[in-house]
Amino acid sequence: MKDSDVRIVSLIPGGTEILTTLGLFDAIVGRSHECDYPPEILNLPICTQARLKSDASSSQINDEVNKLLQSALSIYEIKIDVLEQLQPTHILTQDQCDVCAVSLHDVEKAVATLIDSKPQIISLQANILQDVWADIERVGNTFGVDSVKVLENLEARVKICQQKIQGLSLDELPTVACIEWTDPLMVAANWIPELVNLAGGQSLFCATGQPSPILPWETLVTTNPDIIVFMPCGFDLNRTRKEANLLTQRPEWEKLHATASGRVYITDGNSYFNRPGPRLVDSLEILAEILHPEIFQYGYKGTAWELL
């Protein structure tokens, strides 16, 4: 298949970033409503929309999501008319989380109704870093692009972090709670515990590769982590600051070790931590900078993370 014959619609931000990293940006003809990086992607037609209001409160969003899922409705709609116009040869989607993006089932249903084109569906399903590398390789193979250099570069950056923290004793590895949602309180899982451990921390409350669990407030208070990092799903720095402030009003907040020692942080979860793509390595570097400022200074402070 010649490059000019390839027409890709990416329905997941991490997928769009994988395509871009592999040099396939020019082959993308459509995107999801959440694909926003690289910035030029914003000029392309939007093929999905959300059924819920993203400016609602955390608890309202959570309730809406649960209602939609319980009524067997998807949280997102695919604009089949736009897909029909775009005539894609390939659609990139995901099978990892019905809350994060359009589900594989919805894409298959939409593709079945297309009259003129029967695009190939590539479904990404990353739960750990190794899965992300495998997805990059698979996307590269699908389009005849060599992913070796891209993967070598990403893995080299991970190794640098690992090497720099090798000399630290267990006492120097802080306990870390990564908050993915504030109401209900949820801990970030999947690849996040792995990133925390690679960055020289001890991840609390969840296991690598597992779904994100709800965390009772009392458990957070009793466990009393050294560091708290907010990374709510889909929120930028400003929105994350507002969300974090909901927790800071609780009476026990001031007594927490992380609060007292000034080690509570907010991050741009939407750009970094929530997306299984190449920028998970940036996310690792951000965590390394937060956990061990005496060792790491990448320059992400102020744009990707701030002190609360």
pLDDT digits (tens, 9 = 90+) for 164-183: 999 999 999 999 999 999 98
239-266 average pLDDT score: 93
Q: Which of 100, 125, 150 is the last residue of a domain?
A: 125
User: What pLDDT is recorded for position 70?
Assistant: 60
Its pTM stands at: 0.91
172, 117: one domain:
no
d(CA 162, CA 182): 30
Pairing of strands 76-78, 48-50: antiparallel
- Write down the mean pLDDT value for the chain: 90
Shared domain for 268 and 214, answered yes or no, is yes
Residue 56 within any structural domain of the chain: yes
Are 100 and 201 in the same domain? no
N-terminal to C-terminal alpha carbon distance within the chain: 50
Same domain, 7 and 67: yes
The pLDDT score that the predictor gives to residue 1 is: 45
Give the per-residue pLDDT at 2.
45
* Domain final position from 125, 149, 184: 125
Domain count, the chain: 2
d(CA 74, CA 254): 40
Indicate the residue among 69, 92, 125 that finishes a domain.
125
Q: Where are the alpha helices (DSSP H) in the chain?
A: 13-21, 58-70, 80-86, 104-113, 129-142, 148-165, 192-198, 217-223, 237-248, 257-260, 280-291
| 175-232 confidence digits (pLDDT tens) | 999 999 998 899 999 999 999 999 999 999 988 998 889 999 999 999 999 999 999 9
Inside any domain, residue 43: yes
**Which range marks the domain in which residue 195 is found?**
167-307
